[in-house]
Structure 1
Amino acid sequence: MNCTRLLLFVTFLLAGLAASAQTTHRVVKGMVRDSTGLLLPGASVRLVIAHDTLSTITHDDGSFDIPHVTGSRFSMLVYMMSYAGFKQDYSFPEKDSVVLVGTIILQPNVHQLKAVTVKGAAMAVSFHGDTVEYSTAAYPVRAGSSVGEVVKRLPGVDVDHSGKVTAQGKEITRIRVNGKDFFGTDVNKALKNLPADIIDKLQVIDDYGDAANLSGVKTGVPQKIINLTLKPDKQNGAFGNATLAGGTSGRYLGAMNVNRFKGERQLSVVGDFNNTNAAAFSFGDNGGISGSDGSTLSHSAGINYRDQFSKKLMGYGSYSYSDSKSLVTGVTAQQTIDASYVNINNQNNSSAATNKSHNLNYNLEYKIDTLNFLKISPNLSWNNGDAGSVSQFHIEQNNLYPIKISDGTTNSVNTTKSPSVNGTILYNHRFLKKGRNLNITATYSRTDSKSLQDTRTLTHIGYVDSVDLDTSLHQQVNSNNGNNNVMARLSYTAPIDTFSLLEFNYSFNSASSNTLRETWNIDPAAVKTRVDSQSNRYNYLFITQRLSLNYNLKLKKHNITVGLTGQPLVLSGTSTHPDFSTRKTAFNFIPTARYTYNFNNSEAFSMNYNGSSSQPGFMQLMPVTDLSNPQYPVVGNPNLKPEFTQSVGLQYRRFDMKKGNTFFININGSTTGNRIVNNIINDSAHLSQMSNTVIQETRYLNTNGAYMANGYYSYAQPFFNRKFTTTLTGGVSYNNNISYTNDLRQLGRNWVWSQGARLRVNLPDLIEAELSGTYVNNRTLYSTPGGYNSTTHSIVLELYGKNYIGKHFIVGYNGSKSINSGYSSGVGVNPLVVNLYLECQLLNGNKAAIRLQGFDLFNENTGVYHTVIGPVITDTRNNRLSRYFLLSFSYRLQQFGF
């Protein structure tokens, strides 16, 4: 049966048939021992067919099996530390589905034994200080899969439907290839466009920044990053893929990426255009459930280039361009809890936005000599956006007499332009005495933004026992804002003995802002009148300095850093309306501590304590009324103090090499002094234009008593050589929120508890599938009398998988069923979203594919959200892409060794 006939046949049966297949691909099996007969677990095994390579490592019993082998001729390469490599060519009859290569004997490498200390067999997961390292060979995927498919299999790592990647509960912020940034902070571009079979190791790293990596003294809050190390035989070659697709409802998609790697010289070019809410598309992508609200048309292109210009100079960076148009419609139900009333706001919303952006980042690393290192990192960006929204609202104030009701419409149009430039210079000098180091870092950034906002509000006000009123307001707001940030840091480390050192560091940070905001009222005859009471020119400056002394002790199993930081800070500002100036000063003593204990290469514990200050935002400080949303005006407070947050984090992680299970647990907590919170005032008498409407005015003040704590765990247990893997994940968070309504303090205790479980099945040439379920309980208890509490429950069941039919056909499916309760009436829904596809793979090595996909077959795709911020509870339901079908053609190219 040819591809066309089978595509038509399965199209009519997809919803009702369970795929089944006989294994027709080859599975190559064998055993690895040394010359004494000792079994060798952890040996690397590679099978080369034409220009494709399949890899794995031997199991605990020294055996290995490599699925998805399509050719009758291949080369086998086996190697392991302390042994000479093994290479042999094989040829077997076409009809054999299982190929037994027997026992492969590795001979000792005498020369290597003299120079290398054997540390043991390679593990699927290992720990190295702040790094969790995964061997990609231990998580095999089908030929042609992207790195993203490997990431989904890693214990402790999660990928949601929007492509967001989290590791041990924290978001991954960037991807590196062989230690250098790949497309800056665009994680999806790397995971979707790099093929899995070129990656040897994948490392999840707690990154404390370049200065910490050079000095070895790590303090502060790290970022989670992923570093991909390439296989030695994949350092030179070209690879890429391209996809074109068209479908019903006018849906279309096109994407391509081309990569040329030659040692340290790496060039990658990507581009895509689509109206399917996909940022990018890659060969082998399953066509997942869209997790983006609304519908978006987007175009983007990017280039990433890296080169070793000389032995001393390396450069790497990327440029990307994107433009998008989006449309989102939805409903919102919002409650504001107060001791004397509940303010209910139901809205129907529609918003459209266009955005264009350019981003350029580059890094130059110059190794002046063996002791001196210089890194220069300039970055440029430019964004231009237009956004329009229409909101129909119905607001009621209950428990007040007479009950006041406002019905109205707000139309808003906003245009913004925001160019930005920043750059960092890092210089490091390593003294001749081991451990003595000097690091100087300086950063400057400038961001300018201009916006024009036009807002029209028509309101109808009704009372239970009085006449109705109609009011209207048409305003334009022009804003010009310039922000400058200057940072300088000096760090000096000196050894005390072989195991310990002292670090002295000083940092200076200056953040300044200059803003002009003008508000105009426009009458029905289009006459503009400047509103002086809502216009202002405001300047503010926030300066912080940190003077720290840290002690670091590094032993075989222990790594300890303790220190003390003094932090003086100054916040000052001036305003033309009202005419005033303010100046606030403070001084904080901040103890710092970081401790890591490595039980062994597969078990570690770490603890980190840190403190930091943050300044109020401009809109929080500006002492004028912002009527961008007339029903919810905002008034700043120029007397706000900076916040000071203390945080502590604990982490434990373990991998059992014998059983193959992994366990991660994180516990974090923080408390914030002078927390900036909202004070919601139910009083609009001073707003003459809207004096009779239902208005909640937001003001700001500082308070104490806010703190939070959260915990996350992940446990994964594989069975039968990772053919089956069960994973349990869970978390709990508690936020002790402080807020004010009508100047009265209110406590909101918010608990969020979640538990998830999933089963992954990976049977070569038959099925790859994952079944998962997650339960989330979100509960908020208010100190306000009257029982105004909130509890929601959410259950999400998901099935994701592929069934293989013969050598060239794949049936893929994913589905999600949400069961929600406790949401506001008219918002909570329980969507069932099902996607199916049939793929026919073509050409030698399955380099091409034709795919027919059906998305959201039951036409129920919807986004539902529940948020609690202080006394405000918000339930939102937004539209998402609904049912459509897509026919696509993909082609993949890989050629290495040149």
Structure 2
Amino acid sequence: MIKTDLFRKAGLLALLCFTGVLSMQAQQKSVAIEGVVLDSLKQPLVGATVILMHARDSLLAGFGIADSNGAFRLEVGDPDRYFLQITYVGYGTFVRELSIIDGQSDIDFGAIVLSLDGYDLSEVTVKDSFIPIIIKKDTIEYNAAAFPTPEGSVVEDLLKRLPGIEVEPDGTIKAHGETVENVLVDGKPFFDDDPKIASQNIPADLVDRVQVFDQKSDFTEFTGIDDGQEERTINLQIKDGQNKGLFGTLNAGYGPEERYKGSANVNRFTDQMQLSLLANANNINEQPFSFEDYLQFMGGFEELMNGGNVDFSQFPSNLLDNSGISDAYSGGLNFNYDFNPRTALRSNYFFNSSDNNTLSSSTLENALPEGFFVTDAENEEWTKLANHRFRAELKHQVDDSQDLKFKGNISLFNNENAFSGFSSSQSESGLLGNSSQRSSLGYLDGWSWKTDLTYRKKFSHKGRFLLLHGLVDGQQADSQSDLANINTLFPDPETNLIDSITQRQLLYSDGLSMEGGIDYVEPIGESNYLKVDASTVWIHNMRDKTFSDLLGNGQYEINEELSNQFDRNLNQNTFGTALKTVRKKWNASLGVDFQQTRLESLPLNGSPAVTGTFYSWLPNARLEYNMKPSGNLGFRYDTRIQAPSAEQLQPVVDNIDPLNIFQGNPDLRPERISSIDLNYSNFNQFYLRSVFLGVRGQFYQDRIVQASTIDDQFRRIIQPINSRNEWLMEGFYDFTTPVKGVDLKFGFNGSLRYQHSNFLVNDALDLFDIWEFDHTVRLQNKVKEMWDVGVGYKVHLTKTAFDVNEALDLPFLDQTAFTDLYWYSKKGSWALNANLKYQVYSEARARPGQAFVYLDAGVRKSFFKKQFSLYIKGTNLLDEEVIFQRESYGNQLQETLKNRFGRVILFGAIYKIRAFGK
């Protein structure tokens, strides 16, 4: 306890010191430089670029863009000689030298008139004239040279310095309030499934321009008819002369207790080809897997989905955090090749592997119709995961009016798992109901594949198009689990009943789906289009469970009651039409689909087949309105049908946990889900201010929920059923702006979520409401020449309220304060960093709160013209050896403590490979 208190006090002191550095920067007296940019007719030149550069080396000191009145305002804090440069497309360049001294008053240039000849001072020489930000129609382009990064930086470090772009702690990129879905390199995909691979591996010093835009859908790109389907995209334009040749980075580090990290990033670019190799190996808990990666291990099987919600109990205990002790390895290859102007190949291969051992201690509170019971558990889990995936896209333009696109991917996955644990359940008064000693050893092997072919045709009649597409995909998985469970029931304090299970469980599952469709577009007048489409989908899933009990002679005997083979067939036929209107400032569509869904469940144990045919009208509507100069308003309404999964339908007991038994329900009906989205975004390039607001509503009919039957010993039987209707409402917001008069940038973002759901236990229905509020506020300096400092605060509030049993109502509050500090020497040969995070979790009912402090720091020195660097890196320096998690599932609240690496220190070297023009 003394050690923990000292660490927390040290962490809080460091947080105050970091905040003090930021405060001192903010308190520096700034000198304002103002003026108005006009043309020869005295009209404002809106959007003229104004930059301030140091006279000694022409490095950027500040910049701005003239507003709707032609006015600009720059602020500078350090005394020095500067150049003020003003540019506007089609006009000359205005350059003026000025000196800032201590006690300098504000400078007002008044009206500055630009003509075709412009202003120029012969005695002034600017080494490198550049424009930091250019607005090109729907694209915002940043000049990377205007935002210098320290030696050894990657693209992620560059993006953090660009106005309007934010990088979250987990690497997620947000540009002008919206999440970036794609990162391109010279217009080509770079490991197209994860933007972070490009942002965290490509060196920043290779980038010439960063372009932010909304990438249109294939339909819009081909037809020119905006369908409102867009993805926020960043394109990295590589510098001339450095987009050909060999480049990359090698990194190796080693530390006490045989801790290591090694990585390599090697790229070979030519006019026709992009070839990139990535590799990583470490034993310091840097995970190569994401949530999406693990879905690949299960082949995308629907058994991971329960009523549209992921069943996290089937995931490794360390997947969504950095817990346990891990070794991790990954490698990949990205290959893009342009055969000719009409034919191009885009492909990549990636391999991930990890070996993890996690210890956990958890408390799970389960709601009952009256009161609740608590399950305490101590578990140890070992998991080894491996995944290979390959993706390719081949596009061929037959002629100017038609093209073909083929996409294919294949994934191979393996999961080995060993588990042991002890749990006990008791009433809220402390009366013991059961205990369980569990152990298991198992594996899962499988693969999945997908092929997609699209043909697009433009007819000679303007606006008339035909699109044909077909898709086939399949999955297969084979798993085995050997269980040994000893369960003890306590009907009363004087009695205990012991039940043991020693069993081998085999599960084989496969699936095949085929889809085909046609879209036809016919113009109506100048700006209206009628779209008619038809599609059919056929999906087959098979699950074969063979459960065998271990006999006294060491042989296994099949348990017929628990074994079952089950087939599910799903066929959906959809016919739709939509009227689209495309205008200069807005586009809209209104349509309706008619869908026939046939669901067939085939238990192969003598039970009769269960079939059902459902007919649905599915309306949809969209509106996109462009608000000049940089605002956008969007509205979307959709309806869809969600069919139950094969696992939800399979009417056989799954007793992998005998105290929590799951059994499917072949009588389930599909859910109908209606969604409404409304959002507004605006990026003001004059003031570098971004705003994003969004509202989403969803309404569920025939909602599939988990009904529980719980006995006096707290044994639970879970079965999915169609329940009453449910709905949820969500609101999102994101705002970033410079702070006038000081060198600071302020931002906040968050969300508010309300969910109305059903809760069914022992045939007693209760309704509950979940309120969730997330809010994060950040403050950081704008000019990051030598210092990059940021502080922030995040709060997460959750409240669950029950209609009938109000005694179960539970609010709790989680808070995080964080700060990041980076310092770079003027010549860039030295770099220091420190990152601090302080987390506080409130009390939840009778359980005490928790608090943790995490501190990371490092130092780097560059040599030999910055091509070689040495570094020392420390992670978790305050030696916090546990991770705390709190999760609410409506009628359940779980708190978990997991082990994690303590203090890790690495001594390492970085070498930059540079061989351009070859």
Band the TM-score falls in, shorter-chain normalisation: 0.7 to 0.9
2:399 to 349, 369, 372: 369
Structure 1 partner of 2:850: 829
Q: Unaligned 5+ residue runs, structure 2?
A: 1-12, 26-32, 78-83, 96-111, 119-129, 290-319
Provide the rounded CA distance (Å) in 1 between the counterparts of 2:917 and 2:39: 32
Structure 2 partner of 1:325: 355
Structure 1, residues 271-324: CA drift from partner, whole Å, max 9, x if none? 11111222579xxxxxxxx95222221111111111110121111110111221
Structure 1 partner of 2:237: 230
SS in structure 2 at match of 1:534: coil
1:718 deviates by: 1.2
1:865 to 882, 885, 888: 885
Does 2:837 align with 1:816?
yes
2:703 to 667, 670, 675: 675
2:189 to 177, 181, 186: 181
Does 2:526 align with 1:519?
no
CA contact (8 A) 2:797 2:812 kept: yes
Structure 1 partner of 2:378: 348
1:580 deviates by: 1.6
Structure 1 partner of 2:671: 643
1:784 deviates by: 3.3
How many matched pairs?
826
Provide the rounded CA distance (Å) in 2 between the counterparts of 1:739 and 1:168: 40
Provide the rounded CA distance (Å) in 1 between the counterparts of 2:161 and 2:446: 39
Relative distance call for 1:373 and 1:886 in structure 2 (3 A) is same
Structure 1, residues 806-827: CA drift from partner, whole Å, max 9, x if none? 5322220001001111347678
CA contact (8 A) 1:159 1:165 kept: yes
2:264 to 256, 263, 270: 256
- TM norm structure 2: 0.82
Structure 1 partner of 2:818: 798
Structure 2 partner of 1:718: 738
Q: Spell out the pairing of 1:750-761 with structure 2 (5 A cutoff).
A: 750-761=770-781
1:405 deviates by: 2.2
Relative distance call for 1:243 and 1:567 in structure 2 (3 A) is same
Structure 1 partner of 2:608: 580
Structure 1 partner of 2:906: 886
Structure 2 partner of 1:450: 478
Amino acid in the other structure paired with 1:772: G
Provide the rounded CA distance (Å) in 1 between the counterparts of 2:52 and 2:542: 61
Does 2:221 align with 1:201?
no
CA contact (8 A) 2:697 2:728 kept: yes
CA contact (8 A) 1:136 1:202 kept: no
Relative distance call for 1:83 and 1:256 in structure 2 (3 A) is farther
1:548 deviates by: 1.4
Structure 2 partner of 1:506: 534
CA contact (8 A) 1:340 1:399 kept: no
1:311 to 320, 331, 341: 341
Provide the rounded CA distance (Å) in 2 between the counterparts of 1:153 and 1:822: 38
Provide the rounded CA distance (Å) in 2 between the counterparts of 1:544 and 1:856: 52
Does 2:408 align with 1:378?
yes
Structure 2 partner of 1:337: 367
Amino acid in the other structure paired with 2:896: T
Amino acid in the other structure paired with 1:277: N
2:279 to 271, 279, 287: 271
- Which segment is superposed worse, 168-177 or 578-587? 168-177
Provide the rounded CA distance (Å) in 2 between the counterparts of 1:329 and 1:564: 52
Provide the rounded CA distance (Å) in 2 between the counterparts of 1:632 and 1:507: 41
Provide the rounded CA distance (Å) in 2 between the counterparts of 1:365 and 1:65: 50
Amino acid in the other structure paired with 2:839: S
Structure 1, residues 382-427: CA drift from partner, whole Å, max 9, x if none? 0011011222101114479xx4422222112221111111111011
- Which segment is superposed worse, 653-662 or 175-184? 175-184
1:241 to 232, 245, 249: 249
1:704 to 724, 728, 746: 724
1:851 deviates by: 1.4
1:793 deviates by: 0.2
CA contact (8 A) 1:649 1:668 kept: yes
CA contact (8 A) 1:127 1:602 kept: no
Structure 1, residues 616-675: CA drift from partner, whole Å, max 9, x if none? 112111101000111111000001111111111111112233322111111111111111
CA contact (8 A) 1:605 1:653 kept: yes
Provide the rounded CA distance (Å) in 2 between the counterparts of 1:166 and 1:34: 34
Amino acid in the other structure paired with 1:789: D
Provide the rounded CA distance (Å) in 2 between the counterparts of 1:302 and 1:46: 43
Provide the rounded CA distance (Å) in 2 between the counterparts of 1:390 and 1:169: 45
Relative distance call for 1:586 and 1:836 in structure 2 (3 A) is same
2:436 to 408, 417, 420: 408
1:838 to 859, 878, 882: 859
SS in structure 2 at match of 1:394: strand
Structure 1 partner of 2:597: 569
Aligned-pair identity in percent equals 20
Provide the rounded CA distance (Å) in 2 between the counterparts of 1:20 and 1:694: 55
Q: Spell out the pairing of 1:730-809 with structure 2 (5 A cutoff).
A: 730-785=750-805, 787-807=807-827, 808-809=829-830
CA contact (8 A) 2:161 2:784 kept: no
1:44 deviates by: 10
SS in structure 2 at match of 1:796: strand
Relative distance call for 1:82 and 1:194 in structure 2 (3 A) is farther
CA contact (8 A) 1:155 1:715 kept: no
Structure 2 partner of 1:589: 617
Relative distance call for 1:65 and 1:434 in structure 2 (3 A) is farther
Relative distance call for 1:627 and 1:764 in structure 2 (3 A) is closer
Relative distance call for 1:41 and 1:279 in structure 2 (3 A) is farther
SS in structure 1 at match of 2:561: helix
CA contact (8 A) 2:288 2:354 kept: no
Structure 1 partner of 2:641: 613
1:606 deviates by: 0.7
Structure 1, residues 24-43: CA drift from partner, whole Å, max 9, x if none? xxxxx999999979989655
CA contact (8 A) 1:607 1:651 kept: yes
Structure 1 partner of 2:656: 628
Provide the rounded CA distance (Å) in 2 between the counterparts of 1:39 and 1:127: 16
Relative distance call for 1:508 and 1:672 in structure 2 (3 A) is same
Provide the rounded CA distance (Å) in 2 between the counterparts of 1:829 and 1:896: 53
Provide the rounded CA distance (Å) in 2 between the counterparts of 1:868 and 1:202: 40
Provide the rounded CA distance (Å) in 2 between the counterparts of 1:885 and 1:108: 60
Amino acid in the other structure paired with 1:278: E
- Which segment is superposed worse, 531-540 or 139-148? 139-148
Provide the rounded CA distance (Å) in 1 between the counterparts of 2:818 and 2:749: 15
Provide the rounded CA distance (Å) in 2 between the counterparts of 1:339 and 1:188: 46
CA contact (8 A) 1:55 1:137 kept: no
Amino acid in the other structure paired with 1:656: N
Kindly report the root-mean-square deviation, in angstroms, between the aligned alpha carbons of the 2 structures.
4.0
Structure 2 partner of 1:82: 90
SS in structure 1 at match of 2:200: helix
Does 2:500 align with 1:472?
yes
Amino acid in the other structure paired with 1:490: I
Structure 1, residues 65-104: CA drift from partner, whole Å, max 9, x if none? 999xxxxxxxx999864368999xxxxxxxxxxxxxxxx9
Structure 1 partner of 2:306: none
- TM norm structure 1: 0.83
Structure 1 partner of 2:680: 652
Provide the rounded CA distance (Å) in 2 between the counterparts of 1:694 and 1:653: 50
SS in structure 2 at match of 1:148: helix
1:775 deviates by: 1.0
